Homo-oligomer: A and B are copies of this chain.
Amino acid sequence: MAKFRLDEVDHQILDILIDNTRTPFTDIAKKLKISAGTVHVRVKKMEEAGIIVGSSLTLDYKKLGYAFIAYVGVFLQKTSQTKFVLERINEIPFVTVAHVTTGKFNIFCKIRAKDTEHAKQIIFELDDIEGVYRTETMISLEESLNDKKRLMHSIFKEL
């Protein structure tokens, strides 16, 4: 694992790319008053260091008809079944995130569905997994995402 030490310039590059990954390097260069070559080298380094893992589109799932979000807490019969159940959970594409957690639940996941009916199906699928004792659902009425940029700013303030 490469040693990495991000400076103010790296920070600013990330800041711009976090908002729009297709921002031309020449634009970034102009803004930061450095050469496009430098931007290129810096980005490449951050990629090689594994800081930048990849890039992805942000899609509006509501417009695709998938407006329903819920969190489902999963209770297992035995903790030792965690790995097995997690593998089964990961086979359900509508489960977008799964966490092994301490606290109330053994596994905790987020699902993305079309509507309540569809969500019900997914939750039933989860319930049906061998080793799952019961589940507890929390339906999201409203999602508010904090800007990645703000987290980054806070992280960089401390680096």
Please give the count of copies of this chain that the complex contains. 2
Give Cα A137 to B103, complex, Å: 7
Q: On chain A, which size bracket covers the interface?
A: 35 or more
In terms of DSSP, what is the predominant structure of the interface of chain A? mixed
Determine whether A21 belongs to the interface, using a CB cutoff of 8 Å to chain B.
Answer: yes
Residues of chain A at the chain B interface (Cβ within 8 Å): 1, 4, 14, 17-22, 49-61, 63-66, 69, 71, 86, 90, 93-105, 108, 112, 136-146, 148, 150-155, 159
Supply 14 further A-B pairs (C-beta < 8 A) apart from A20-B55, A65-B159.
A14-B59, A20-B54, A49-B63, A51-B60, A51-B64, A55-B56, A86-B144, A93-B146, A96-B148, A97-B145, A99-B138, A99-B141, A100-B141, A104-B136
